Structure 1
């Protein structure tokens, strides 16, 4: 992934505190020192600010995926969620630097993204900061769900789309998905989500660590109902294009940037 250069000082300027969930106290302290952020109490409800706690954005690093399913973890002041996984502190600091450049930021492993309702949680976090109509929130969640699914299945796991609408095709697809998830190197790959808001415009980037894919030639005419420059590849691009104001494929197809009107 090559979105923005990492910077621990940038994290210090963006975030007011570092929260931990499931991290050993010593590691939380070490990471807080590397980032220059005051550590929060491990195990405290990340969304509930206590007396004297800063209300400026907080960064949450978590170790146990089930804990992050609690909607309270996605409430302000937390604005970035990073799964520690098997990353060293230096790599986590790099992610914190990228998180500092976004209004909301998520980095999770493929295994977690495959089971966590990331799109719904991210939209809940967005709605806590910006009023969304039910229709707009639904559109954003739908597009984000498709993009995350693409990143997991076609990007990091490199599973091809179903070849036909038959029971046998579904069984083959499900088995391929399970087999690829069972490979530790693929399950550890990252899915990264970054949201940026400017005025009435929202941009959402979703990136994976797969091999990418080549879209159709930019000048090729798009069939009715399809997104110009995007081949029909089973990646749900047409579905995303039906609700997003625009979309772009970047980093050789490993990143999709969606734009929405708020």
Structure 2
């Protein structure tokens, strides 16, 4: 069962931990005024840790560690980049309403299925109506897929029923994932639980979209039309910001 530990804004500065070099962790503690906390995924799974750090940092994200961290009340799961820094929007998010922040590289995001795990956490923390779980999970899957493929990998054609076209799409995805410049771009998923609705924000670091990007679902040419239509049908509200690099999905609580 997911912990319902108090949000960091209600008490002392957020705690931080992770199985990373001790010097790196100390630098993050000192530069951001955080509290260092113990973390080991084996200890978490064995039940010898009763809570996760509010911010869990890692050098390579994994389903196993993310699941253990969220189950013990973590508010953020961050795969550190080459600069070893926290995402710029993380601490302001933790100072606001209850929320979650996942920040992963494109190559890690491609290998993980974040949607089921995140939606399990959202339901367990009381932020998502259990009856809306399947809608939110499908929307989140579509938005993350768009962020990876059309955003960070900069591939603007989709797979096709034609075998040759599908093979070409698959090769293009694998080629971009093997290119560090594309693979190291970030996919950020944030969940913010307001009084009346849950907002899921899915952000990429792609080039956005030239020209006008609609603020609503009315025009379906932004990113993948099929995925956006699915999101529009299943979420209560959908909008796009940051020139199309952020999809905002809203679900009434």
1:241 and 2:232 aligned: yes
> In structure 2, how many angstroms separate the alpha carbons of the residues matched to 1:135 and 1:67?
24
1:136 and 2:127 aligned: no
Q: Deviations over 1:2-38 (max 9, x none)?
A: xxxxxxxx98977531121x30122112211222122
Match of 2:82 in 1: 86
Q: Deviations over 1:214-243 (max 9, x none)?
A: 587759xx9xxxx31332652510011110
> In structure 2, how many angstroms separate the alpha carbons of the residues matched to 1:99 and 1:46?
25
Residues 218 and 38 of structure 1: CA distance in aligned 2, closer, same or farther (over 3 Å): closer
> In structure 1, how many angstroms separate the alpha carbons of the residues matched to 2:87 and 2:115?
24
Q: Which residue, out of 138, 159, 162, partners 1:166?
A: 162
Match of 1:204 in 2: 200
Match of 1:4 in 2: none
Residues 163 and 170 of structure 1: CA distance in aligned 2, closer, same or farther (over 3 Å): closer
Superposed counterparts of 1:80-119, under 5 Å: 80-89=76-85, 92=86, 94-100=88-94, 101=96, 103-119=99-115
Match of 1:3 in 2: none
Match of 2:3 in 1: none
- How many residues were matched structurally? 241
CA shift at 1:141, angstroms? 0.9
Match of 1:30 in 2: 27
Match of 1:259 in 2: 250
TM-score (norm 2): 0.83
Match of 1:155 in 2: 151
Unaligned runs of 5+ in 1: 1-9
Alignment check: 8 A CA contact 1:192 1:207 kept:
yes
Alignment check: 8 A CA contact 1:75 1:128 kept:
no
CA shift at 1:88, angstroms? 2.9
> In structure 2, how many angstroms separate the alpha carbons of the residues matched to 1:136 and 1:93?
29
> In structure 2, how many angstroms separate the alpha carbons of the residues matched to 1:36 and 1:95?
15
Further displaced range: 148-157 or 79-88: 79-88
TM-score (norm 1): 0.80
User: Cα RMSD over matched residues?
Assistant: 3.0
Residues 12 and 110 of structure 1: CA distance in aligned 2, closer, same or farther (over 3 Å): farther
Residues 140 and 63 of structure 1: CA distance in aligned 2, closer, same or farther (over 3 Å): same
CA shift at 1:70, angstroms? 5.3
Alignment check: 8 A CA contact 2:153 2:176 kept:
yes
Residues 13 and 111 of structure 1: CA distance in aligned 2, closer, same or farther (over 3 Å): farther
Q: Which residue, out of 14, 17, 21, partners 1:16?
A: 14
Residues 19 and 46 of structure 1: CA distance in aligned 2, closer, same or farther (over 3 Å): farther
> In structure 2, how many angstroms separate the alpha carbons of the residues matched to 1:156 and 1:193?
14
Alignment check: 8 A CA contact 2:199 2:251 kept:
yes
SS at match of 1:81: strand
Match of 1:230 in 2: 220
Further displaced range: 32-41 or 94-103: 94-103
